[in-house]
Amino acid sequence: MQNKLKSLVGREPARLDESLISSTIKGRVVLVTGAAGSIGAELCRQIARFNPAAIVGFEIAESPLFEIDREMRKSYPHVPFFAEIGSVQNLARVHQVFSAHRPALVYHAAAYKHVPLMEQHPFEAVENNVFGTANLAHAAKQFGAGSFILISSDKAVCPASVMGATKRVSELMLQSLQNGGTQFIAVRFGNVLGSSGSVFPIFKKQIASGGPVTVTHREMRRFFMTITEACQLVLQTSAIGKGGQICVLDMGESLRIVDLARNMIQLAGLKPDEDIKIEFTGTRPGEKLYEELASILDDTVSTDHEQVRVFIGNHRPQFDIEAWLHSLKQICADRNTSQLVIALKEMVVDYSPSTYLLDKIAAEQQAAECEEHACGAI
């Protein structure tokens, strides 16, 4: 894997302080949300290496949860694994799980993450990513968890998508809850090679079928890590981070997606543009050409680990976040896209709604006006 990472993204994998990670996890009950997803499942595997008292895998998808349960019991029989099915949006279920297991550490990986899909379903993005995180964070405080680690995203930086805006809202919400007790830490990183829906498995399938490999834009760039490396650095961050911090993983230089495609074609023993064609399909709703990790790390300071930095920017809203969340719930209940965008912009001042979403709002407003005129004519 180390050689593959260096071949694909041009750098060495991270080095870890495993003794420090062990002192954080050993003998403690750890809850992982989204435990059957790409990141959540790898977190479970990595956590098991450090001998926790138990791992609680919280997941809404039944069949994947069944599979990770079987894997954990077979591969790590010395670590009790509790497969708990449920949604982070269900507060009663969240409380039930926390009450039963009393986790000391919470790694919150459950999220809707696919940018174009969330542009089409903005209310679902908010309900899952914002309200789900709120449910878990409040439960962590109520049931005395020591640390709560949110898996955030580079898309939270100057967000151009609903998904990115929901991650930024979650970061701000956790900071507002930090008043002693549970330590709330957010960890931002970029794309993960091999995660569900990422370009790596998509390109791999396209190459195996003879192409073409589809890339949205010639200049599209992203930061990349392997799943293993990203999860290891999340554990490292939870060991060195402090409550209220937003930690940023230094992922090196961003890589052009087309260069990744060419590297993968060559690693398959084929020639780009000859054996396997590359086609450009155009950017999708909410996508940027470039992603920033805290403005390319300009607004960060170093920590004891060379690849973990702390975001020092502020931009916190000067109003009651709990009251804002209450009004946001009503907006979601009303399914009012225009009000949703306004509310997100109020909380995340550097959020720039996509053209797709603005066009959707215009269409909804036009439809409402037509309906009003039709009713008036009757």
Q: Which residues are catalytic?
A: 155
Contacts of 67 (CB under 8 A, 6+ apart): 36
**For residue 161, how many other CB atoms are within 10 A of its CB?**
29
**DSSP secondary structure, 225-264, as one string:** EEHHHHHHHHHHHHHH--TT-EEEE---S-EEHHHHHHHH
Tokens of residue 257, six digits: 């997606």
Backbone angles phi, psi at 142, to 5 degrees: -60, -40
Torsion, Cα 49 246 170 148, to 10 degrees, reads 40
Backbone angles phi, psi at 49, to 5 degrees: -65, -20
Tokens of residue 120, six digits: 């089409």
CB 21 within 8 A of CB 46: no
Contacts of 71 (CB under 8 A, 6+ apart): 41
